[in-house]
Structure 1
Amino acid sequence: MLDFIAIDFENANNARSSACSLGIAVIEKGVITDVKHWYIKPYPFEMGYYQQRVHKITLESLTLAPAFDELWPEVLPYLEGKTVLAHNAAYDLNLLRGLFEHYHLSIQALQYACTVDMARSTWPNEPKHSLGYLAYYNQLTFTHHRADDDARVCAQLALRMAELHEAADLDDLIYRTKVSKRNFDGTYATLKPQPRTRRNTPFIPNLHTAINHSHPFYGKSVVFTGDLSALGRTEAQQLVWQCGGIAAKNLSYATHYMVVGKQNAQLVGEELISSKMKKAEELLSRGFPLVILNEEEFLAML
């Protein structure tokens, strides 16, 4: 049977002890039976600009939150002796190890695996395997970077992949997707011994099947800089992928379009010229066929 725990952390700054939010989804016999969420007082008690921009948690809202060592007796029963899944497990388990080191905590047994790696094996032809992208194309709605929502969607994706691979239990899913299960210290864990027969992998269709090949963004690389007023960055990128385009993070000679939103003076200076805009000027001066779009032009092309 499919029994596991899905987790997600949000952090306040770059320190490994700075978790400020934790979400846990409990899966028993293939069903999500409980979803929990806690705010955590981070250490050090600082909020990074980029972190807050992602998860929207303010430092002021965490003033009365418990530190992780105070919260640990409540969290421990959910994790001890369990197999944990996380989307980009290396990130979440690194935060958990950092909290353990800072607060001198311990756990007798915990194993984990990564749903990003599972997704890459399940849908190898997809252009990306982020939580937002996979949720969108599996028709899962959630508030991204709210820890309990992220944990729930991570669990739902694992259950979906288990269904597609016809996996009998979690270890069978790990086996079918050819990923590794690890112990809390990072060493490799052994899958539960059971007879495993070689069989043909079930046909698993690509996530996006209906693409308009004549769309102007089809096959084109699109980069964003600045904030869009009508769309969040993730939503805009998903729309590009939906059109068959490539939502790239950085400019290169292969970039076809750069969409320019409102610039933040704290990030780019009073001239409001981002590093991507400077790079774009360089590419244009060298004759590369880059097209600069404002938000209205981007939406019109969509």
Structure 2
Amino acid sequence: MDFIAIDFETANSSRSSACALGLVEVKDGVITAEHSWLIDPKQRFDGMNISIHGITPSMVIGQPTFHELWPTVEPLLHGRIIVAHNAAFDMSVLRYCLDGMSLNYPSFQYLCTYLLGKKMLPHLPSHKLNVVSEHFGIELKHHDALDDARAAASVLLRLMEQESHRDPLLLSSSQGYTSGTIFAGGYTPFSARKSKPAKKPVNNQRTNNLYI
């Protein structure tokens, strides 16, 4: 039950505009450490984004840029199992930030609690983090990066408990998903395994002198 949960917030619609990062470490099924950073994206802040997460330009003055923060964050991610709610977004923010600053990708596997929740909690009306958190009784200040990361970690632990799994990767596989990966030079998405199409049976019976 060891993994890292993360959540990014962005200043605008660009995935390279990370302005906050929350990171939660889980060991043996228990949250053992939490980290939270404001990031100066060196980009404009859109009003819509500010209305969502409440982070303003004045709040990131003097905060590290992603490039400056990366040496602190990279060792926490490399070689670990990473978890995010709607991981497609958070992993793309990470990649765009790294690409924009010509930084090397770390290597890790990652899971998406949003997609796992859709599969494992089909009765819920929505699988947004606030809805899934409410279902499990998890307290959440939505769109606070640390709170979102903490909630994603708690959601995964509850889903593992629901299926009596102690390994996040085994839980993912049992639900028909292949873990995503990020590695030097590329990435693969967290995705449902494609089932092989069934082979059509061969029928050699002769009818009216024709094979059908």
Into which bin does the TM-score normalised by the smaller protein fall?
A: 0.7 to 0.9
| 1:54 aligned residue (47, 52, 55) | 52
Residue matched to 1:139: 137
1:51 to partner: Cα distance = 0.3
Residue matched to 1:186: 187
Deviates more, 1:104-113 or 1:9-18: 104-113
Residue matched to 1:204: none
| Counterpart AA for 2:73 | V
Measure, in 2, the Cα distance between the counterparts of 1:179 and 1:116: 12
Measure, in 2, the Cα distance between the counterparts of 1:94 and 1:24: 16
Answer yes or no: is the 8 Å Cα contact 1:27–1:34 preserved in 2. Answer: yes
How has the CA–CA distance of structure 1 residues 10 and 108 changed in structure 2, closer, same or farther, with 3 Å as cutoff?
Answer: closer
1:188 to partner: Cα distance = 6.1
| 1:72 aligned residue (55, 70, 73) | 70
Answer yes or no: is the 8 Å Cα contact 1:81–1:110 preserved in 2. Answer: yes
Answer yes or no: is the 8 Å Cα contact 2:74–2:106 preserved in 1. Answer: no
Q: Which runs of 5+ in 2 are unaligned?
A: 191-212
1:127 to partner: Cα distance = 1.3
1:102 to partner: Cα distance = 0.8
Answer yes or no: is the 8 Å Cα contact 2:133–2:139 preserved in 1. Answer: yes
Answer yes or no: is the 8 Å Cα contact 2:3–2:81 preserved in 1. Answer: yes
Residue matched to 1:6: 5
| 1:159 aligned residue (157, 160, 171) | 157
Residue matched to 1:91: 89
How has the CA–CA distance of structure 1 residues 188 and 129 changed in structure 2, closer, same or farther, with 3 Å as cutoff?
Answer: closer
Matched, 1:40 2:39: yes
1:5 to partner: Cα distance = 0.6
1:138 to partner: Cα distance = 1.1
SS at match of 1:85: strand
| Counterpart AA for 2:188 | T
Residue matched to 1:24: 23
Measure, in 2, the Cα distance between the counterparts of 1:130 and 1:15: 21
* Number of residue-to-residue matches in the alignment: 187
Instruction: Report matched runs for 1:262-281 at 5 Å.
Output: none
What's the % identity of the aligned pairs? 36
SS at match of 1:52: helix
Answer yes or no: is the 8 Å Cα contact 2:88–2:189 preserved in 1. Answer: no
TM-score normalized with structure 1 length = 0.60
Measure, in 2, the Cα distance between the counterparts of 1:188 and 1:41: 28
How has the CA–CA distance of structure 1 residues 106 and 181 changed in structure 2, closer, same or farther, with 3 Å as cutoff?
Answer: same
With CA pairs under 8 Å and 6+ residues apart, which has the higher RCO, 1 or 2?
2
Answer yes or no: is the 8 Å Cα contact 2:95–2:105 preserved in 1. Answer: no
SS at match of 2:188: coil
How has the CA–CA distance of structure 1 residues 108 and 51 changed in structure 2, closer, same or farther, with 3 Å as cutoff?
Answer: closer
SS at match of 1:96: helix
Instruction: Report matched runs for 1:278-293 at 5 Å.
Output: none
How has the CA–CA distance of structure 1 residues 65 and 188 changed in structure 2, closer, same or farther, with 3 Å as cutoff?
Answer: closer
What's the CA shift string for 1:229-283, capped at 9, x where partnerless? xxxxxxxxxxxxxxxxxxxxxxxxxxxxxxxxxxxxxxxxxxxxxxxxxxxxxxx
Measure, in 2, the Cα distance between the counterparts of 1:84 and 1:47: 27
Measure, in 1, the Cα distance between the counterparts of 2:179 and 2:145: 23
Matched, 1:127 2:125: yes
